[in-house]
Amino acid sequence: MTTQAIPGQNPAKGILFYMTGIFFMATMDVIAKLVAQDVHVAMAVWARYAGQTALVTLIFLPNLRTIARTRYPFLQFLRSAFLLMGTSLFFLSLTKLDLAEATAIMDINPILITLGGALLLGETFGPRRAFGVGAALIGALIIIRPGTDVFSPAAFLPLIAATGYASFVLITRKVGHDEDPRTSLFYAALLGALATTLVVPFFWETPAPFTIFLMLLIGVAGSLGQFFLIRAVQFAEAGAIAPFSYLGLLIAAFWGMVIFGEYPDLATWIGATIIVIAGVYVWHRERVT
């Protein structure tokens, strides 16, 4: 006989969902940077939300009326607004900073998620989580190296974006147990699609055929990433999954080398190693307990 996992009671499963979501979101960021090299970044933001809205609507069309019903209309609006803010500012930062640099600064959001979960949602903040978050932050600081060229005025863009994303995750966690994940997925895209559709005509440039293909991929990657992130916070507290946001930094560093010729130096590799060790340790401990 099989049993269904109770939401919030399977941190290992939540962490796996979260890591999968981070992979798709990091891949989306890479594609957005490529798109922004050919057309205005506003078109990349529009493709991210319009693509997700269209994909989700087509997949869930038979049950769309049911999915569109939400118990938390205001919270759904608020979380969507925070996500739109985070995505727009982070995509803009990709036009001014290297991929790994922007991602490293953005990775302050796990600290905000964990602290917000403890202060606002009453989640526990034990020594294992404190170690994972603290060690991962040290690794990120080694990569960022305060006082260097990374801290240009453009560095504030991913920093503010991190605040928006952390707020989005915390609100998702708040509604996660009572809301259908498909509903959260739908509303996460709808507001962004409506807002960017109104704005994008002012920045429209005729894209090349390959850029059109990349814009379609942005919507697919964003949809998959959002789905897995929403599922993750249904099975694990925000503080448990927070350290694994740093996986995106490793993915960014890899694609930065392969696609953009941005080669991390020794300090970046040292920081990345610390992040991986911290993440694996927290996952192991959460699974054991």
Tens of pLDDT, residues 21-57: 999 999 999 999 999 999 999 999 999 999 989 988 8
What is the structure's pLDDT at 216?
A: 93
Q: Is residue 6 assigned to a domain?
A: no
Query: Where in the sequence is the domain holding 259, given as residue range(s)?
Result: 11-288
Residue numbers in the chain where pLDDT is lower than 70: 1-9, 123, 125, 147-152, 176-177, 238-239, 282-289
Model pTM? Answer: 0.80
Q: Is residue 111 assigned to a domain?
A: yes
- Backbone φ, ψ for residue 8 (5° rounding): 90, -5
Q: Is residue 62 assigned to a domain?
A: yes
Q: Is residue 178 assigned to a domain?
A: yes
Q: Is the separation of the CB atoms in 20 and 228 below 8 Å?
A: yes
Q: How many domains does the chain have?
A: 1
CA distance 215 to 155: 25
Q: Is residue 5 assigned to a domain?
A: no
Q: Nearest Cα to 115, choosing from 102, 141, 134?
A: 134
CA distance 239 to 132: 10
Q: Is residue 1 assigned to a domain?
A: no
**CA dihedral sign of residues 122, 140, 188, 225:** negative
Question: Cβ-count burial of 158 within 10 angstroms (0-12 exposed, 13-18 middle, 19+ buried)?
Answer: buried
CA distance 235 to 8: 4
**Sole residue written with tokens 């994909």:** 55
Q: Is residue 4 assigned to a domain?
A: no
What is the structure's pLDDT at 283?
A: 65
Q: Is residue 2 assigned to a domain?
A: no
The region that residue 2 occupies, defined by phi over 0 for left and psi between -120 and 50 for alpha, beta otherwise, is beta
